[in-house]
Structure 1
Amino acid sequence: LGIDPFSKAEKAGFAAETKINREDWGLVWNVALEAGGVLVGKEIKISLDVEAIRVTEPAAV
């Protein structure tokens, strides 16, 4: 939590990362490659970067 240098409003930022197995969610499609291996990996990396600024008055239209 901090103060935005431009608007002087309260500001918060968060970051999160995780990994999931796509097959756990029923996403099982894949194609075998001629050279070996498969086209799509099982592990999915998810990354979130969130920034929020508190607005105390309505924006001008």
Structure 2
Amino acid sequence: MNAKTQVNSKDFGLTWNIALETGGVLVGEEVNLNLDLQAVSQETL
């Protein structure tokens, strides 16, 4: 099963950041989450 979503880091209280010399910032507000999940059924004896 695959799942993708995007969250805002400020929604979780992450407000720390550093400006980079090349422009932009170290930690962006948008965080992409990509999940690949596998499950294995186990029978009990």
- With the shorter chain as reference, the TM-score category is 0.7 to 0.9
Q: More relative contact order in 1 or in 2 (CA 8 Å, sep 6+)?
A: 2
Structure 1 or 2, whichever has the larger Rg, is 1
Unaligned runs of 5+ in 1: 1-13
Instruction: Report 1:25-44 matches (<5 A).
Output: 25-44=12-31
Coordinate RMSD, CA, aligned: 1.5
Alignment identity in percent?
47
Q: Normalized per residue, which structure has more strand?
A: 1
Distance 1:35 1:57 in 2: 57
TM-score (norm 1): 0.60
Unaligned runs of 5+ in 2: none
TM-score (norm 2): 0.75
2:20 aligned partner, one-letter code: L
